[in-house]
Structure 1
Amino acid sequence: MHQPAIPHLQAQDPDVAGLVEAEARRQFEKIRLIASENYVSPAVLEATGSVLTNKYSEGYAGRRYYEGQQNVDPLETLAIERAKALFGVEHANVQPYSGSPANLAVYMAFLQPGDTFMGMALPMGGHLTHGAPVSVTGKWFNPVRYGVRADTGRVDLDEVRDLALKERPKLIWCGGTAIPRIIDFPAFAEIAREVGAVLAADVAHIAGLIAGGAHPSPVGYADAISTTTHKTLRGPRGAMIMSTEEHAKAIDKAVFPGLQGGPHDHTTAAIAVALKEAAQPSFAAYARQIVANAQALAAALVERGYDLVSGGTDNHLILIDLTSKGIGGKPAAQALDRAGIELNYNTVPFDPRKPFDPSGLRLGTSSITTRGLTETQMPQLAAWIDEAVQAASKADEGVLARVAGQVRELLAAYPMPGWAATP
């Protein structure tokens, strides 16, 4: 049953309640390897579903446009102070609705329409909001995109510097959505200083690893840091922007009134809870285990003949190039889902296939680490992935069903925050 329980929902709208329970069971029974997903604690769930969803709080603490902020103001202040303490930053804004609006606020704080900026190209591991042609960031500004080397799968910072010197961007993004290696924040900062650009770090995927000391921090190098609050940070679906005090006013004005009205106070409360959880010693151990699991899984996949972009991983994320396996990422991902292993198909650098039918798979180890899996289970997981990919090539549904059953048997021993099977 769902935890916290949902008796009122079950009584008033059994259709929705049934879907909620079905989704909870699905999350319990599948190995969830989508790199942007996780399991939040029951405390985060309770905060997200609290009566704070009833409140409207346009503005900032002490400067609201609605009355009745006696509890919201200290709540938002608490979330801000916890973010500042956890990440060691001078300023934090916890109001952005999600990662893309947070990134848009960074643009609004530092650029005018038509200005030049640099970001990692989407097919190379960047995010839509780093200047992809289909994104408003690629339409409203002048994006200059960098990528990775074909031989290493890693960013060539000498090439980034040459490009920056040629294009003279006002803003440079580092970070992305499919980067399996450590981001060299000091090197990016040196390039940004040389060309007089603002450096923005998008750490949405690795924020929890940074908080837990398992990845270097951009603090002291980046002028602005954007992040979602879910993924490795294990909080609700929200976002934050952190910065030096010098840029605090510009960022706050960009978030409100620049891009949005009232914040979602129930999400703010859940962010505050997640930040408190991430400040505990156990979270640092969790962050280290995420990386250990990813590296063990990567090694096991390489042993089975899988080609990994950059050859491995330094964080939670693994990017597989299936070209040598003779199958596209999309049919492989769909088959793996039927086998009880959830991940996403993904473009790989220099991918000859179309984005909606790419050559790769992207996976991450945050969720399975929350469930308690360790390096011990990673060879078995790699074996199941291999079996499912081979079965997909042969349209062997029997193998997929067998693997799904074995996955359910394994996960039955690992509790899931937010749901428990009834006796």
Structure 2
Amino acid sequence: MIRDTSGQDVQLAPQSPWKNPRLLKQVGLGIVASAFVVWGLMSWQSTTAVDARLSLSRINIAAVERGDLVRDLVVQGKVVAANSPTLFSPAQGIVKFAVKAGDTVSAGQLLAQVDSPQLQNQLAQESALYSKLSVELARQKIQAKRQRLENTQKADLAKVDLAAARRELKRAKISLEKQIIPQLDFEKASDDMARAELEHAQAVQNAALENEALSFETQTLELQVSQQKLQMEELQRKVNELHIVSPVDGTIGSLATTQRAAVAANTPLLTVVDLTSFELEAAVPENYADDLGLTMAVEVTMGFEKLPGEITAIAPEVINNQVIARVRFTDGQPANLRQNLRLTARVLLESRENVMLVKRGGFLDQTGGRFAWKLNDQQQAVKVPITIGAWGLNQVEIVSGLEVGDQIITSAADELDKAQLVALKD
């Protein structure tokens, strides 16, 4: 007989699934796994929303504000003598110095003498020629007076002959009327009268022409004498310049040659340094050369003192990518200045009032001043295009792209190179 399976079944009482520890463990693991999945999705979405992340401790942030911008330039310079003339030899010769390097001299003091026999000889020759021409001029004036007297005498004699001819014609006319003389004698008297008038007119004209020629010859000699006098005075000036004197009160800077050396004309001999007047010689970078101008204001820092000045000269050439500018102190010579003293100068290139400003930083060099990263209310920085204007020492002008009160990242960072949106974290 086959037995059934009824004897194998066991009836169990129903239980709550939440009381099964194995099931609870599986549900807990599922919840944790779901949480990790959700967190990963959120992290992935956050990562794809921003291009980079930066710590606030690594960057500098500045706010855009409105104010006055002073466009300036800080350069280094050295104090130099404003007046340091170099004296040259006026002619070829032997130089004899009367001073040594470092001697203190006054204006007009003899510094050196150049012995030039050639120049002295030329002066003597020109002086002799001047004396000769002066004597010839005096002789010409005497000769002109004598010739004028002779011309006047000839004209006066012709006038007397004319008067005599007129009287003779008058007597001949009366005699002809009384038939005392023949007609032939009357006609001869008339011819004598006409000849006398002609001779008198010619004598007067010749006297005028002779006097004019004499004046011309005298004037020619006077011009020659004047020309020779100028040449003699020029040589005399050159001879006087052989005695070289100091143009200013100062100190002998250096001697360019030795005692009793043979020098050529226009050879530098020595330098006189005027220590009573100083200027600042500032080296300005080449890219600022076009912005410089005469009388431009400069602020010179000497210790804790600010000294006002102005640019008085700008060198036309560029040396070692720099342009040399001379700065004069406008409020008088400051005390304790000495040559070659190093000072800092602040050149005031431009001043703009009531413009948008932001602090200068590395972001300008990183983007060329075309973009900035502006902070939003979600602790993020958004890349925005900007337009900058004038550059100051500590600030830069913002023309467009930002508003007053906006905060931007002013420092540079590698993460910002290709980032459009940057997340900021503490």
Q: Into which bin does the TM-score normalised by the smaller protein fall?
A: under 0.3
Select the structure that is richer in strand: 2
TM-score by length of 1: 0.18
TM-score by length of 2: 0.18
Q: Specify the structure having the higher radius of gyration (Cα).
A: 2
